[in-house]
Amino acid sequence: MHRQKTKLARRVHRVALAVERRGIVATYELHDRVLSNRASRRRFAGQPPQLDDVQRSILERLRKDGYAVVPFGDVVPDQSVWAELDAEASRFQAETETGLARESEGGGSELRRREGKEFVVRKYAYGVELGLDDPWLRLGYNRRLLDIANSYNGMWSKLEYVDLWYTPPLAAGERKSSQRWHRDFNDRHLLKAFLYLVDVDEDTGPFEYIPGSAPGGELDHLWPWRPLGDNYPPEDELAEKAAGRAVTFTGKKGTLIFCNTAGFHRGGFAKTKPRVLATVTYSSPASLASLTQQNYSLADGIENGLDPEQRYALS
Ligand SMILES: O=C(O)CCC(=O)C(=O)O
């Protein structure tokens, strides 16, 4: 009797999950085609940003390959911005290393991690309250980056995620979760920026990408992107189908990578040295309406001092 009940409960749960999934996918498609994204495309078309040569070149490369790499200073030439980020990153690195040392001695720490991806220590993770003066949030709503994201997505984008990651080296072991090839499930209109805050070589867990695998690219038919799709194909099959195509982003501190991570990517498999990077995610309003949520809330509300594009990204 008990066994039958358990079986029935499991079946009911499975059906309920399937119905919920279908509802989420339908909501996403509706918001992408008709509701949120249409209005957001209109806003962009009514007020397209003036891009300079650096931004135009990034946009061209993004459209062709799904990624572009550039020194941070080329996008944000104001030296004081980099100086502040660099100093903040060093502080985060030092605090994280103190916390990790305490943990390895069996003590507690306040380090933030996310379930399922415990190998990364995060500055903010989820549910953090940020002031508009937070340097990493400011990086996310910096018009130089935001204009690239909006132009690539063809609409005013939402700043969905802002964080700093510390990936400690792991002497041995298999690749786990985002260390394996995958597509991000959360949006087809997606742009992430990764800013390396230490030099990253082969042993530091570089980010890797398969050019042309983003939606609309020549390899988009490989386990194609779907909302909530089956986004982790067997590693060996993908490696065979995309043989020789993957790009590995080793680079100096201050390297900025723009990438549509609805295409295949992986990274953070640090072997001997820790990797420290900042990451910001721009997605479409449809994604926030159904598939994902912002990892931060604003401490101060949105100021009138910001441009409409910035206010939209943060709301
Ligand atoms: O840590 C990395 O390099 C990969 C990150 C990743 O998979 C993601 O942000 O979606």
pTM tops 0.85: yes
How many whole angstroms from 22 Cα to the centroid of ligand 1? 26
**Strand pairing partners for 82?**
none
Q: Is 207 in the pocket of ligand 1 (CB under 6 A)?
A: yes
Residue type, 269: F
CA 15 to chain centre: 31
Q: Which atom of ligand 1 is nearest to the CA of 206?
A: 3
266, 276, 287, 291, best to mutate for ligand 1 pocket (most atoms within 8 Å of CB)? 266
- Terminal Cα distance for the chain, rounded: 51
How many whole angstroms from 292 Cα to the centroid of ligand 1? 16
How many whole angstroms from 267 Cα to the centroid of ligand 1? 5
Do 72 and 255 contact (CB within 8 A), yes or no? yes
Angle at 103 between CA 97 and CA 107, to 5 degrees: 130
Structure-token match 């943990």, residue found: 103
Compute the mean pLDDT over every residue in the chain, rounded to the nearest whole number. 93
Q: Is 213 in the pocket of ligand 1 (CB under 6 A)?
A: no
Residues of the chain with pLDDT under 50: none
Tokens of 148: 């690239």
Q: What is the pLDDT of residue 252?
A: 98
Pairing, β 265-266 against β 207-209 = antiparallel
Look at ligand 1, atom 8, and give the residue with the nearest C-alpha: 178
Q: Is 188 in the pocket of ligand 1 (CB under 6 A)?
A: no
Q: Is 281 in the pocket of ligand 1 (CB under 6 A)?
A: no
Angle at 32 between CA 153 and CA 232, to 5 degrees: 80
180, 187, 194, best to mutate for ligand 1 pocket (most atoms within 8 Å of CB)? 194
